[in-house]
């Protein structure tokens, strides 16, 4: 016994049930972390003198800071609970969310798209859409993006509240409110700078807290070979209920992830549905991520931001997916869930789900002290994710909707105030959207559905409009609406049983349908509507923008290994090697 293994629930001194038993050392570590978070917010407040500082950190941050923030902003509920849950459920195919579904798109963003974003001096992705397509596409994008951020912030808040519930035994609604207030404080104080500097801190805290889980878990199970043996035994003992061991222990062809019975269709679904439509749709057009690169101090730093982020991103599976796989064979409750049983308990108190995998593994493996660090890491991850959603939301509400359509030409401080009010409103709304997230046993199912609705159609409009000057303003918004409705239709068909794919198959098909329908409708509408004049497309369409528009005089003096191109090639080679090895 290491002092933290408990029955499904342990009673606190107040009589409330907790999942994890902690002591004073753990609480000291957690308090120190929260003090640092609030302190960073207060320090960042001193640097906020206008809207550019509040929303884009004054475009003053170096590439290594924005690169780590780029990864950390995404290292929230999806990476920790979602990926560990999917790792526990299906094993190695989950790595496709990183090595196929993230890194290639991040490199594309850095090499091809960031020059357009940064060079155009826009403050948000919807603002880019307005200058390229006009107000129709701008309104559709801004409203849909704002809605998506509220829903996704709810995911992070729900899981953050679940940690507080598991730690202290508070009712979930109380835990949600407390967690929301903490995030609200440092975003309201310091704007994007507070979010970014906290995300850099959170990145190191997260790695330090999750790496011991992988190392201790592998030691306990007998290394990688021992893990493979136990997964093979579990699959053999539960035929038909659990994916075959061969599918869990190899990333390709990934049938346990895609839901397709055919290996060929599975590879096509993963490469096109996840690797192209969902991945490029998320990483290249999602303002939550792009906003970090826009805060860089130069166009070269902006390009390097996602490329630098790609290196730690490709290693994240070893501290998220691997603990999930370990939990499935080391934690009795997760093993029973995987075998089809209903188990009482869980972080929510409503029953154990795959989302609880990493919490139970912490309970069973970590001694006090290290347990406190792990809890701080989880809190850091969920706050980083929620803060990223809310800081992007307040920018879009203030800059794209309020300043553009409601109150033009006000003084700068007025829009900072609007941003802070938007932050408060988003935090309150997220408390309610958190309850929606709680209805899903695997949070990735919910999240990929949202990405299919909002990101896949946007990427279609974006990429066609960037490389085809004849795509018209009318086609821009009509294509977006049609693509979103097409993805929603596929989801509705899955609810009524017409489309029936396990795993992430439905999300891949919905996203693909949204992308394809957007492209087709956009091309057709462009034939009967008027495009913008060529002179208005400079900086927004590749063929109309001279290379000098994106020039950075600093680039010529940089060593080859710190330039965007060579860095991207190194990252691409590394991710290809990982795909071959696993």
Per-residue model confidence as pLDDT tens for the chain (582 residues): 333 333 333 444 333 456 667 678 877 887 887 777 667 666 655 554 444 444 444 455 777 777 777 787 777 656 777 788 888 888 888 899 899 988 999 999 888 888 877 777 776 778 888 888 888 888 888 888 888 888 888 877 777 777 777 666 677 677 777 777 776 765 665 455 556 666 677 777 778 878 888 899 999 988 888 888 888 888 777 776 777 778 888 888 888 787 777 888 888 888 887 888 878 878 887 776 777 777 777 788 888 888 988 998 998 899 889 998 998 889 888 888 887 777 777 766 677 888 888 888 888 888 877 778 777 777 766 776 777 777 778 778 887 888 888 878 787 778 778 877 888 888 888 888 887 776 665 666 677 777 778 788 888 898 898 888 899 999 989 999 999 999 889 888 887 777 776 656 777 788 888 889 999 999 999 999 998 888 888 878 888 888 776 777 777 777 877 788 889 999 999 999 998 888
Angle (nearest 5°) at CA 24 between 19 and 30: 75
Give the residue from 282, 310, 286, 283 showing the smallest Cα distance to 63: 310
**Do residues 110 and 564 make contact, with C-beta atoms less than 8 angstroms apart?**
yes
Token pair of 533 as six digits: 């004049």
Give the residue from 49, 160, 135, 102 showing the smallest Cα distance to 416: 49
Those residues with Cβ within 8 angstroms of residue 340's Cβ, 6 or more apart along the chain or in another chain: 238, 241
Give the CB-side neighbour count of residue 366, counting CA atoms within 13 A: 28
pLDDT of residue 58: 44
pLDDT of residue 17: 53
Token pair of 470 as six digits: 């004849």
Those residues with Cβ within 8 angstroms of residue 423's Cβ, 6 or more apart along the chain or in another chain: 184, 187, 188, 390, 391, 393, 394
**Do residues 39 and 406 make contact, with C-beta atoms less than 8 angstroms apart?**
no
Angle (nearest 5°) at CA 40 between 34 and 41: 95
Ramachandran region, residue 346 (left: φ > 0; alpha: ψ -120 to 50; beta: rest): left
**Do residues 308 and 567 make contact, with C-beta atoms less than 8 angstroms apart?**
yes
Ramachandran region, residue 533 (left: φ > 0; alpha: ψ -120 to 50; beta: rest): beta
**Do residues 446 and 354 make contact, with C-beta atoms less than 8 angstroms apart?**
no
pLDDT of residue 78: 63
Token pair of 557 as six digits: 């003096």
Give the residue from 34, 11, 307 showing the smallest Cα distance to 168: 11
- Containing H/E element for 18? strand 17-18
């Amino acid at each position: 016994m290491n002092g933290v293994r408990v029955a499904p629930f342990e009673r606190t001194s107040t009589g409330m049930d907790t999942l994890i038993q902690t002591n004073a050392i753990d609480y000291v570590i957690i308090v120190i972390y929260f003090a640092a978070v609030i302190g960073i917010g207060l320090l960042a407040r001193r640097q906020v003198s206008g809207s550019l500082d509040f929303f884009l950190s004054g475009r003053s941050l170096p590439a290594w800071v924005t690169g780590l923030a780029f990864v950390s902003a995404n290292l929230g509920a999806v990476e920790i609970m979602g990926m560990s849950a999917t790792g526990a459920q299906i094993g190695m195919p989950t790595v496709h969310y990183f090595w196929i579904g993230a890194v290639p798109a991040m490199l594309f963003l850095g090499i091809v798209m960031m020059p357009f974003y940064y060079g155009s001096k826009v403050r948000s992705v919807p603002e880019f859409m307005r200058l390229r397509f006009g107000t129709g596409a701008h309104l559709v994008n801004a409203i849909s993006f704002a809605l998506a951020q509220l829903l996704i912030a709810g995911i992070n808040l729900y899981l953050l509240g679940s940690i507080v519930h598991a730690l202290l035994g508070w009712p979930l609604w109380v835990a949600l409110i407390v967690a929301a207030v903490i995030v609200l404080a440092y975003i309201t104080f310091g704007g994007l700078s507070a979010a970014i500097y906290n995300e850099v801190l959170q990145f190191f805290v997260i790695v330090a807290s999750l790496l011991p889980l992988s190392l201790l878990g592998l030691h306990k199970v007998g290394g990688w070979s021992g893990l493979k043996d136990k997964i093979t035994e579990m699959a053999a003992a539960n035929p038909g209920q659990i994916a075959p061991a061969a599918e869990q222990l190899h990333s390709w062809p990934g049938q346990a992830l895609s839901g397709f019975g055919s290996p060929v269709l599975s590879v096509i679904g993963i490469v096109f549905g996840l690797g192209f439509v969902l991945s490029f749709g998320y990483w290249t057009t999602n303002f939550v991520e792009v906003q970090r690169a826009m805060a860089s101090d130069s166009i070269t730093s902006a390009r390097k931001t996602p490329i630098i982020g790609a290196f730690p991103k490709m290693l994240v599976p070893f501290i998220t997916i691997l603990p999930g796989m370990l939990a499935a064979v080391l934690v009795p409750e997760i093993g029973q869930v995987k075998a089809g049983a209903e188990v009482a308990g869980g972080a929510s108190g409503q029953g154990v789900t795959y989302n609880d995998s990493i919490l139970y593994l912490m309970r069973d493996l970590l001694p006090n002290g290290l347990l406190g660090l792990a809890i701080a890491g989880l809190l850091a991850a969920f706050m980083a994710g929620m803060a990223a959603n809310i800081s992007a939301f307040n920018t879009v509400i203030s800059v794209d909707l309020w300043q553009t359509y409601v109150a033009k030409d006000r003084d700068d401080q007025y829009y900072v105030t609007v941003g802070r009010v938007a932050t408060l409103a988003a935090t309150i709304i997220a408390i309610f959207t958190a309850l929606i997230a709680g209805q899903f046993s695997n949070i990735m199912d919910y999240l990929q559905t949202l990405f299919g609705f909002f990101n896949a159609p946007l990427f279609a409009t974006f990429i066609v409009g960037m490389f085809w000057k004849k795509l018209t303003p009318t086609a821009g918004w009509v294509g977006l609406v049609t693509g979103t409705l097409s993805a929603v239709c596929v989801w509705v068909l899955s609810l009524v049983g017409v489309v029936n794919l396990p795993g992430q198959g439905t999300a891949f098909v919905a996203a693909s349908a949204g992308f394809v329908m957007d492209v087709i409708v956009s091309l057709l509408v462009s034939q009967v509507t008027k495009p913008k004049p060529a002179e208005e497309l400079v900086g927004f369409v590749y063929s109309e923008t001279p290379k000098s528009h994106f020039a950075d005089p600093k680039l010529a003096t940089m060593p080859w290994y710190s330039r965007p191109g060579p860095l991207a090639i190194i990252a691409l080679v590394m991710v290809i090697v990982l795909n071959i090895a696993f």
